[in-house]
Structure 1
Amino acid sequence: MLRPVVLALAVLLPALTGIAEAQNRDLRTVFTAPIAIERSEPVTEIPIDFRFGKLFIAARVNGEDSEFIFDTGSPTILSRALADTLDLVTIGQNTGVDANGTAVTMDVAIAASIELGGVRFIDVPVLVFDYSGVDPGGCIFTGGVIGSEILPGSAWRIDMQRMTLGIAESTDVWPAAEDGIRTPLHDFGYPHAPVIDYSVGDISDRALFDTGSPDQVALFARVAEHESVLDGFVDGSVMRGRGYEGVSAGGSGDLEPLIRATLSDFRAGSHQLGPVRASVRGVPPTLLGAGILDRQIVTLDYPAGQVLLAARSEPAEARREAGYGVQAIGGEVRIMRVFDGSHAASAGLEPGARVLAIGDRSLTSETPETQCDTVRWLLDGFDPADAQSLLVDGEEGPVVINVPATE
């Protein structure tokens, strides 16, 4: 029996590269200062909307109402358009890395208040980013992202069965689940992202609970390569292919080998969550993603330093996995990934190929408005698991490729 292997998860304060001389603020102090919280009542609930594979919530920043993606794996990032509307003053710049490991520099400002229902967070450091320059951000990001630096000081219950986000002083306001899981929550400082212990095979490590990831689990490649983890892949569940892991603030990553598999053994702390469906990602850390919310109600209890997981009484239906994926990039629609042995691979689709039309819908847009219509349709109206006829730009001209439905 191999001894457990522990891979250290480095959670570092991003490099701080600029200070506004006029205000003479030390950015490290700005990022690490506790955020004051005002509550109109001990517990409040706000609705969650699920679109484009993301969790959307309404919030008010400095008195301005807008819609935001709720992303526990990110700091709070306001869109440039909203920041300009609010006349926010830049106090410096921050350089960090996005989900693909690419360095990204953003302006830093202070939001005097961020209100979620009856909860008000005061003097919140926020990053500012122009989403219009990144696909598909300009079409789906209105206010930006509400992220993890406001999480300390509250218990947060994410219940996608009821489609609500609960915010409370403590978990005492909610009934305890008889068969629920409790495991430690680690907070390594700004941006205070929730980190939990996990183990798979003979590997013990720490994972980021990231509602910005659509997967149940996104397993760091070094973990996935371990013999004891490979032995835990359920027979017949492995899908291998090539493609791009996704688009983040710094753009799309490189063309990479892709792996999906079902893990028979995955534990949150010492508690069994498996079997879980996992993808493999090239950059650390391992992520416990929003896909787990299909099966679990998750509570991030920062005051008590614990994560609570309770099985939903009505789990969501299992999602069909298509053998390929598409995305709008730079005004064009491209094949982002293709898995070996799939109908898409057999039909001849290749990662990077430009798609001119799907069925009778043209994807060659001329205006920003029609481009955003295409982006939103691809994210929320198009299902590659259905039978599709794709018009692809080939070496000798357009080629029709028919892809049967995924069973």
Structure 2
Amino acid sequence: MRSTNNRGHQKKNGRLKLIGLILLFVFVLAGATFYAISLAQENNEEADQIEQPAGDDNQQTDETDPESTETDGTDQADSEEHDEEEPEEEQFTDIRISAVGDVMGHTSQLEAAYDAETGEYDFTSVFEDVQPIISESDLAIANLETTLAGSDRPFIGYPLFNTPDAIIDALDYAGFDTIITTNNHSLDTGPEGVRRTVEVIEEKGLDLAGTFAEEPESRVLYKEVEGIKVAILAYTEHLNGLDASYPQDEVLSMINVISEERILADIEEAESEDVDLMIAYMHWGGEYERYPNEFQENYAELMTREGVDIIFGSHPHVIQQATYLEVDGNESIVAYSLGNFVSNQRRETLGEEREPTEDGVIFHVNVQKNEQTGETTVQQVEYTPTWVYRNRYEGDSTYTYRILPVERILETDEFTDVDRQRMQRSLDETTTRLELTD
């Protein structure tokens, strides 16, 4: 039998085994923990290595493409600009105004226009050479220095004019749209002649200024020319004394006669109509006078001061100077006399020492309106010198009349040396007279 001393030894060995197991467990746990920590660190490092190249690429992009940031800024600026309203581009309207002087109807002119076979009158051939020039204008004005009293009385020239209605057809053909009817011959066939002249022109579709069939509401002609509102005022200095034969009230109701009171009232009315441009056509001055007189100059200054932009003149039958005026801050262009556009007056009959009554001019004024500001200004002044050709060809009983644009005709060899010399002299004279002055 064994003895109690053997059981005590077994307990000591058990404790040693337990301690060993505990140490082993701690060691294993520590190793596992260390391994887990190491693995986590490796995973974090790999994640960093994966994310870092993307960051490097972005950095490289910023370095290699510096415009990327600028483009973003530009796009933003463009967006802001589009958000703001862009300034409106200025727009302009341009028109060309042309005016001529006296359209006469002397007896020899009537004979030249008459066709004995048909019994009709035709004046169109007189205007064929200038028709391309006139028709290019947006507003074309001529002074009709005769009356249209009809065939109930004789067709006749000087001193009391009565012309066939066909003259209006010819002016229409030439390109004129506005006829001035107030001049010293307006009463040549009496009040009835005044009325019929107005009626014929209106029936043929043209506008007129200066005379009226009856008392008008307005004595100013208003026209819309390519969107530009134009006022045309027309007056005559006198009526050859014929007004004394009729009641003064009747005469003044039918015909615009120059007076400061009348002109100022018409200008005031035109301004109240918010016109863009004011034109005055004045029948004034001394016949065959080379220079404007004091009467013309005083009224030109008056109208300029009151706001008239363009002043055309007729009656002297010869070309007078053109000039720019400035009065109290207002400016105008004044052509004191445009001469004869067509007539039978010429040096061959009046005398070589006389002023050149066969010389004329188509006076052009180019006007521009700023559609944004509403401002209308004269941009350019030009002119086309003209000369009235008259010739009786062999076998003809009447003359042939043609209004010639001198510069163009001189480039041809159509006419005789004598005619060409006359045309050259006419051109030189006209150029000298129309040399614009301030």
- The TM-score with structure 2 as length reference comes to 0.27
Query: Could you say which structure has the higher strand fraction?
Result: 1
Larger CA Rg, structure 1 vs 2:
2
